[in-house]
């Protein structure tokens, strides 16, 4: 069975879906990798490294799609709407696609993929259960983003992060406020603490207090009554605007006294909640920095501009998008391990099986047999529930080239 790894075409995307180190484990499962020439170069994985581990190199993109029964991508169509559209014509019936497809936001793209007859697994939809942790690409990439956000802030802040005792006197530590303590927020806390900053953090989910404090930060308890702060999967739930308004009021003092604010608050399938107003930005000391990791979903800060760094009220605001791609070597390594674990979960007796009785497979299955089949995405599209299908259906035995 052949899995194809095309070169990523999203602007400034430097990651690759598989790295040479995981090829041995895939070979044991009966999978052979066909890598488009140059696919891993930007991440520090040359073609020769893939060949050394048993992969073949495809000289053309079309050739790779044609020969492979499955396609592995970091950003498939949906998560790469403009440059990725050309791949639709390369897809065929029962070809298996595995990667990120942004299905909660790119709804129409899911329908376009379904029309090709390809079977699509969207890794963003992976359930947050214990046995799926090794496959969790969102957590892996959020780890990279949280780390890099702090480094960006430290570079732009006209202060040093740690407290220093010098002959010239004592240098006070920088104060960092992290909003949202998911994976990205926790990694931002850990990185800022390692650099020596005094860190405070807030999240509407009181259950994260212990995690925040274990990293050496102070958990900020705001006098807010929030019901159902998180869903069954552990994600923050959307709140009424009144809750966000009260949150902004009590956060204003914390923002004003912080040198760096890093925001990470996201609600799956919705625009990011507005937590920092322009007035709050104006209250910060000149030279302060805000890094808004929710920029691509509208931003947690009113003044955020996606893809841009702007200065407002003498405060530098960063709206980075796709931060994981700026650390491509290790981001690719983590992503590849997630994808490899997912692939091996799908493969039984050297065949891929779509076993819809398995929660991991059922929840990530986006398109199948010409239709969008994921219940949540169908509902968002206004489609009736899909008819149940037979379980344990072999979807792909061997690629046509074999």
Helix (H, G, I), strand (E, B) or coil at 296: helix
**Is 139 one of the catalytic residues?**
yes
How many Å separate Cα 95 from the centre of its chain?
Answer: 24
Q: In what order do the strands lie in the sheet with 393-396?
A: 347-348, 351-354, 393-396
Torsion on CA atoms 322, 359, 203, 292, rounded to nearest 10: 10
Q: Outline where 215-299 has alpha helix (H).
A: 241-256, 278-282
**Is 128 one of the catalytic residues?**
yes
Locate tokens 């072999």: which residue? Answer: 394
Q: Which of 136, 259, 296, 355 is labelled catalytic? A: 136
Q: Would you call 170 exposed, middle or buried from its count of C-beta atoms within 10 A (0-12, 13-18, 19+)?
A: exposed
Q: Would you call 366 exposed, middle or buried from its count of C-beta atoms within 10 A (0-12, 13-18, 19+)?
A: buried
The encoded tokens of residue 41 equal: 């170069």
How many Å separate Cα 280 from the centre of its chain?
Answer: 28
Q: How many residues comprise the chain? A: 402
Asked if 135 and 122 count as a contact pair (C-beta separation under 8 A), the reply is no
The encoded tokens of residue 279 equal: 């007035």
Q: Which of 47, 56, 128, 283 is labelled catalytic? A: 128
Sign of CA dihedral 29, 32, 36, 42: positive
Euclidean distance between CA atoms 38 and 109, whole angstroms: 27
Please give the DSSP secondary-structure letter assigned to residue 285.
Answer: P
Q: Which of 25, 94, 139, 211 is labelled catalytic? A: 139
Q: Which of 94, 194, 205, 235 is labelled catalytic? A: 235
What is the residue-wise DSSP string for 97-128?
EEEE--TTT-HHHHHHHHHTT-EEEEGGG---
Q: Which of 133, 270, 271, 401 is labelled catalytic? A: 133
Please measure the distance between the N-terminal and C-terminal CA atoms of the chain and give it in whole angstroms. 7
Euclidean distance between CA atoms 38 and 36, whole angstroms: 6
Sign of CA dihedral 373, 113, 16, 53: positive
Which residues are annotated as catalytic?
128, 133, 136, 139, 235
């Amino acid at each position: 069975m052949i899995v194809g790894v095309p070169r990523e075409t999203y602007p400034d995307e430097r990651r690759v879906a598989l790295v040479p180190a995981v090829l041995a484990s895939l070979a044991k499962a009966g999978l052979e990798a066909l890598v488009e020439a140059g696919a891993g170069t930007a991440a520090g994985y040359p073609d020769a490294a893939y060949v050394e581990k048993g992969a073949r190199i495809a000289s053309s993109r079309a050739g790779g799609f044609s020969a492979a029964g499955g396609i592995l991508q970091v950003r498939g169509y949906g998560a790469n709407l403009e440059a990725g559209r050309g791949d639709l014509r390369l897809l065929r019936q029962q070809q298996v696609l595995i990667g990120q497809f942004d299905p909660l936001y790119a709804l129409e793209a899911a329908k376009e993929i379904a029309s090709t007859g390809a079977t699509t697994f969207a890794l963003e939809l992976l359930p947050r259960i214990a046995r799926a942790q090794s496959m969790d690409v969102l957590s892996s990439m959020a780890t990279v983003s949280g780390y890099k956000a702090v480094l960006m802030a430290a570079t732009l802040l006209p202060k040093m992060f740690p407290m220093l005792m010098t002959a010239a006197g004592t240098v006070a530590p920088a104060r960092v406020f992290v909003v949202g303590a998911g994976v990205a927020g926790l990694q931002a806390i850990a990185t800022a603490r390692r650099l020596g900053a005094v860190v405070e953090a807030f999240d509407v989910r009181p259950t994260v207090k212990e995690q925040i404090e274990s990293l050496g930060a102070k958990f900020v308890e705001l006098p807010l009554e929030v019901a159902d702060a998180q869903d069954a999967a552990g994600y923050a739930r959307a709140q009424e605007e009144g809750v966000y308004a009260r949150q902004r009021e009590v956060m204003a003092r914390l923002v004003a006294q912080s040198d760096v604010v890093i925001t990470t608050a996201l609600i799956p399938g919705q625009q990011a909640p507005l937590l920092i107003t322009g007035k709050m930005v104006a209250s910060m000391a000149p030279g302060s920095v805000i890094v808004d990791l929710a920029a691509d979903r509208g931003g947690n800060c009113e003044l955020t501009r996606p893809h841009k760094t702007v200065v407002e009220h003498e405060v530098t605001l960063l709206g980075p998008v796709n931060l994981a791609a700026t650390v491509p070597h290790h981001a690719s390594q983590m992503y590849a391990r997630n994808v490899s674990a997912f692939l091996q979960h799908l493969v039984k007796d050297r065949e891929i099986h779509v076993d819809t009785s398995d929660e991991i497979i059922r929840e990530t299955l986006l398109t199948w047999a010409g239709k969008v089949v994921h219940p949540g995405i169908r509902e968002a599209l206004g489609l009736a529930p899909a008819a149940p299908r037979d379980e344990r259906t072999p979807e792909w035995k061997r690629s046509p080239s074999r």
